[in-house]
Structure 1
């Protein structure tokens, strides 16, 4: 499909979003979630005569036109992610809820692939406890699916019901089976039997001190860091030997609460990798993030010989990035699970 056709598809998707936003009186993100649900189910949902018959007729014409494009899964995902970015911009979405770029999902999937390959896993239960728009999880699954090596069963949690709806509808359009739940991920989880977690963690203070009280990573005084609590809660909910791949601030081990996080890590998990993400992905040094790979104690898990550390090269630098993939393979050879 040509770039012009891709633009036409996006324009039609945007037209449907605008109609639904006006008719339902919702945010752009909520309108996009509704659009994707309609596309997936092949019909326009109407509740209490909203949207009205005129709007329904216009939407049906648009959805019929979208079907005629015959996009590949990759092209479809590109169109949806551009729509998410536009919706976030129009809604003035807060930084913690912005979509995770595809490049980070690709890198996370490469790390997961090498670990799972060494462990010879065929079926993997994955969770994203802070799923947001769903792009990190969808990209992660799509990349692993392309290898034809694993059966991925995925779950998603988030405390924003609009984003949970978007994740669910996004995954349905992509023909992925993701169970999405609206909940505070620091609170108790109902899902069990989880092998792996990936998360682009929101950064900041967790406001409910009572919920934080049971965690070893809680602050001694005042509010605790939400990303610390989420790491602990997620690792607690994994199977023995389970893997957590977390996108965190690069300075995570240099803050006023870093000591509590480090003490918990020593007692409960193996720190297997700390990798700064490519600097080109971030607008400033302050915004720089890293990938931390943790493994829960238990099973056959053990500390790898050398913690993988360094800066991941830009994905647009093929030679350097291939070198990084070679490093990943050598590191993952020591993984047990």
Structure 2
């Protein structure tokens, strides 16, 4: 019997709905409870969870397949959410981030990666799953439901990930990492007292959370380490952007800025780009030429293939492989 992502999701969905009705909780809370039951190895009372456990035992299943089952449930739970932080990063983007991370790793056998806006852990686990080296992950998230899903999802995938349940812009018990990846939360940061700790704080009023997340991420990256951010396309045209650009020139080398296909977003105002930085260190130097591109629709296989060839050529020219 082959493992079916769709069938496994149907079973998980049935279980979540049962738990929802019994516990009177939201769908996402029901997902967290279903995964917790599953991981605890206690006797499963829901027939759908029993069948799902049997499926996992009797078929060859990969971490990536498990992630996709959970992802389908997360997408269902987030449907109609008005909060941008309750949106899931598309798999096509996660694949692209993983592709770059693999390139920067060269022949390293192990790496440490941190997502300061980890949410349900979907981006973090998607990237770790596709990189050949052994990934040790760290994630930070303030939302209790999202972090509970992230913990249970990572456990079910047997991923080595440590999560911090806290405001990501407060100090973290974390040694600097090789990589930071983040789909940056966009908006204002409400804690004006905490923002005083940041160089990128606003002179008056609330500071931009996305600016502070960039500064915090650079702080927790090793010298020579890389940061791969999904940024709003307006990042460098909004007010306070001059201060941000000055800060980035001081602390990092700009490696790449690639605009993502507009087809990935519900509206142009939510469109994003992949922004790659390297933290400056004694042995680092800026690229001869930063990689700038407008990415084609990922559905256009030929155009995407041509773009990957151009990126491969850029890596060779920069001696980064």
Q: Distance in 1 between matches of 2:261 and 2:230?
A: 12
Given the alignment of the two structures, is residue 272 of structure 1 paired with residue 255 of structure 2, yes or no? yes
Worse overlay, 81-90 or 256-265:
81-90
Q: In the alignment, which residue of structure 2 is the partner of 1:191?
A: 174
Deviation at 1:328, TM superposition (A): 2.3
**CA contact under 8 A between 2:176 and 2:219: conserved in structure 1?**
no
Given the alignment of the two structures, is residue 112 of structure 1 paired with residue 101 of structure 2, yes or no? yes
Given the alignment of the two structures, is residue 65 of structure 1 paired with residue 51 of structure 2, yes or no? yes
**CA contact under 8 A between 2:113 and 2:178: conserved in structure 1?**
yes
Q: Distance in 2 between matches of 1:96 and 1:201?
A: 9
Q: In the alignment, which residue of structure 1 is the partner of 2:75?
A: 85
CA RMSD in angstroms comes to: 2.1
Q: In the alignment, which residue of structure 2 is the partner of 1:291?
A: 274
TM-score if structure 1 supplies the norm length?
Answer: 0.88
Q: In the alignment, which residue of structure 2 is the partner of 1:9?
A: 8
Q: In the alignment, which residue of structure 2 is the partner of 1:28?
A: 27
Q: Distance in 1 between matches of 2:5 and 2:236?
A: 43
**CA contact under 8 A between 2:224 and 2:279: conserved in structure 1?**
yes
Q: In the alignment, which residue of structure 2 is the partner of 1:101?
A: 90
**CA contact under 8 A between 1:196 and 1:243: conserved in structure 2?**
yes
**CA contact under 8 A between 1:130 and 1:202: conserved in structure 2?**
yes
TM-score if structure 2 supplies the norm length?
Answer: 0.92
**CA contact under 8 A between 2:224 and 2:283: conserved in structure 1?**
yes
Instruction: Point out where structure 1 has 5 or more consecutive residues left out of the alignment.
Output: 45-55
Q: Distance in 2 between matches of 1:10 and 1:295?
A: 39
Q: From 230, 234, 238, give the equivalent of 1:247.
A: 230
Q: In the alignment, which residue of structure 2 is the partner of 1:52?
A: none
Deviation at 1:106, TM superposition (A): 0.4
Q: In the alignment, which residue of structure 1 is the partner of 2:185?
A: 202
Q: From 294, 298, 311, give the equivalent of 1:328.
A: 311
Q: In the alignment, which residue of structure 2 is the partner of 1:139?
A: 126
**What do the CA deviations read for 1:159-209 (whole angstroms, capped 9, x no partner)?**
112111111111111221211110111111111131101000110000111
Q: Distance in 2 between matches of 1:277 and 1:305?
A: 23
Given the alignment of the two structures, is residue 262 of structure 1 paired with residue 270 of structure 2, yes or no? no
Aligned positions, number: 316
Change (3 A) 1:284 1:2: farther
Deviation at 1:86, TM superposition (A): 0.7
Q: Distance in 1 between matches of 2:7 and 2:307?
A: 37
**What do the CA deviations read for 1:266-295 (whole angstroms, capped 9, x no partner)?**
111111111111222111211110011011
Given the alignment of the two structures, is residue 157 of structure 1 paired with residue 144 of structure 2, yes or no? no
**What do the CA deviations read for 1:252-274 (whole angstroms, capped 9, x no partner)?**
10001211111111111111111
Instruction: Point out where structure 2 has 5 or more consecutive residues left out of the alignment.
Output: none
**CA contact under 8 A between 1:218 and 1:229: conserved in structure 2?**
yes
**CA contact under 8 A between 2:291 and 2:314: conserved in structure 1?**
yes
